[in-house]
Amino acid sequence: MKRSLRRFGPLAPTLCPVLCLVALVLPAAGCKDDPEGDGGTDSATGTGGSVGEEGVDETADGTGTSGGLEELDVTPAPGGMRRLTPTQYVRSVEVILGEAAAAAANPPPMPQLGHFDSQTAVDEPLTPVDIETYESSSMAIGNAIMNDPSGLAVVAPCVNLGGDDCYELVARDLGRLAWRRPVLDEEVTTLVAIANAAREWGEGDFMSGIKYEVAAILQSPNFLYVVEVGQPTGEGDVRELDPYELASRMSFFFVGHTPDADLLDLAEAGGLSTNGQLENVAYDLLERPEARARLAEFYDELYRLRDLQTKGKDAVLFPTFSSELAAAMRQETLLLIQNVVFEEEANFLSIFDASYTFVNDDLAQLYGMDPPAYPWQLVPMPVEQGRAGILTQPAFLTVFSHPDINSPTRRGLFVQETLLCNEIQPPPPGVMANAPTPAEGQTLRQWLEQVHNAEDSCAGCHSLMDPVGFAFERFSPIGAFRQLDNGLPIDSSGEVAGVGTFGSAADLATLVRNDPRTPICVVRNLYRSTLGHEEGPDQFDGLMVLDESFASTNFDYKALMVELTKNPLFRLVDAPK
């Protein structure tokens, strides 16, 4: 860090508390004044637990936070803190400081180590390079504010006038938004000292102080990490999220960014205390445009749509594949999901066998359709090609294939693990996952059946993956329809234990939609992504309630999201780790 601190010249000693992120000294609500974790005082508000003396309000009529769910025997995911994802970081900067500031934001990338970025955000520590990048990003945002303070002026109008008290107002008002809680007096003192030192270093320039104060706020762990430590409930290690933590969790869940001032005000006023209040806030958040972007981000990640832009294809075999076509593939799938969830408010499972899709000119050409009348048009799926739903859209077919040949194994694995939550064991040590190489006069299916059935150690798992993938053999590695494979007729039929018998991709799509595991897997994926936690037996009761609720609403996805916010698994945390 010494090299980084030298950039601040005489400010380095003052700035060290907020720049030395390696130490991660976090004066967060619920931690600072309660080091043993057994007190009931919220250091940010000076009040006790957010609901009742014993934590969760157990009112029988469901008006309390628990709403009749208090009898569930659940241990929630551990509390603690998790880093903002790059998207959350940029969107949060835009919410609190405006578009110009967000354009200057450049957080470090987050490695994709598991199914969900939220799991990485919980488990992966910052590297020295990450810390340097956060510092550079915050300084770039500070420069943007110096050049155009209009975004900050929305939060702190005093920046247009200057004045000795403005630094304190920025610390309290911007700090509250960025840190998602009231700023403690001693924290305000530190931030004002930084601003004054910067103004002195800048030869009296008021905006120099603002620049470094903003940078200090955005480099703090209080901004970079979402804190979820909760308050004791009196039930073992289980803790209840305080109002600010609950507001933050809801905002990141529904709209993908830090809560705005209105939501923080509502939390402070006790407006997140009952099921009815939570439900109203949740549906209000779902009406915002950002809710669509948040849903798209989730399915970008879950269905690996974000991999399309880096998915190379053989230019000789697939000359029409381009970054523009890849972007259109991604957009097609997201438009279908958003249409089902937001426009139609229909049974979410219909995404798996929908008889329609959305196309632009590039996709219409790939499907063999006439050009659409509009840039994006809802059109019937070409049923003569055996298509139905997202599994026969080019996005899925392109992502889960090799550059020059299909991959029934990858396609089948996605269906089993991501759509049915049927975990498949990894290959034995030493197995090389090379692209298949069928011989002349041999289809890919024939080659895979020959190779993967040769060893019992391979056949057990491949019998669950490959036959599922064979259903999609009428579609090329970029999702175009085809009649032949290697000059031979294609057999897309199959039978898979636990799934059923099918003759085409459309048949398989119907099986997936009707499989009782599919809606349960939808719930599990939403839970895992939201909490950054893989469920276990201790969460079973809470998840079962969500499964039943999802089914009772005819699989209304928006209703599922709202029900999750009222569930103890969302409102509670276990002992912070």
Boundary residue ending a domain (286, 308, 335): 286
Specify whether 300 is located in the same domain as 282: no
Specify whether 13 is located in the same domain as 63: yes
Percentage of the residues of the chain whose pLDDT score is greater than 70: 85
- The answer as to whether 536 is a domain residue is no
- The answer as to whether 9 is a domain residue is yes
How does the average pLDDT of the chain come out, rounded?
A: 86
pLDDT in tens, 421-447: 998 888 777 666 677 888 888 999 999
- Is the pLDDT reported for residue 10 higher than 80? no
Specify whether 216 is located in the same domain as 338: no
Specify whether 416 is located in the same domain as 465: yes
Highest-scoring range by mean pLDDT, 14-28, 115-129, 222-236, 460-474: 222-236
pLDDT in tens, 354-413: 999 999 999 999 999 999 999 999 999 998 999 999 999 999 999 999 999 999 999 999
- The answer as to whether 376 is a domain residue is yes
Of the candidates 77, 78, 71, 57, the residue with the CA atom closest to the CA atom of residue 541: 71
- Is the pLDDT reported for residue 28 higher than 70? no
Q: 409, 419 in Cβ contact below 8 A?
A: no
Structure tokens at 496: 């898979």
- Is the pLDDT reported for residue 16 higher than 60? no
- The answer as to whether 567 is a domain residue is no
Boundary residue ending a domain (463, 495, 514): 514
pLDDT in tens, 475-489: 999 999 999 999 999
- Is the pLDDT reported for residue 25 higher than 70? no
Confidence at residue 85, expressed as pLDDT on a 0 to 100 scale:
94
Confidence at residue 456, expressed as pLDDT on a 0 to 100 scale:
62
Stated pTM of the model: 0.86
Specify whether 228 is located in the same domain as 312: no
Specify whether 305 is located in the same domain as 204: no
Boundary residue ending a domain (268, 286, 304): 286
The total number of structural domains in the chain stands at 2
Specify whether 230 is located in the same domain as 277: yes
Specify whether 187 is located in the same domain as 315: no
Specify whether 323 is located in the same domain as 391: yes
- Is the pLDDT reported for residue 32 higher than 60? no
Specify whether 451 is located in the same domain as 502: yes
Specify whether 267 is located in the same domain as 306: no
pLDDT (mean) for 206-226: 96
**Enclosing domain of residue 451:** 296-428+436-514
484: which strand partners? 489
Specify whether 188 is located in the same domain as 310: no
- The answer as to whether 533 is a domain residue is no
pLDDT (mean) for 299-304: 95
Q: 445, 455 in Cβ contact below 8 A?
A: no
- 3-class SS letters over 428-479: CCCCCCCCCCCCCCCCHHHHHHHHHCCCHHHHHHHHHHHHHHHCCCCECCCC
Handedness of CA 431, 433, 437, 438 (dihedral sign): positive
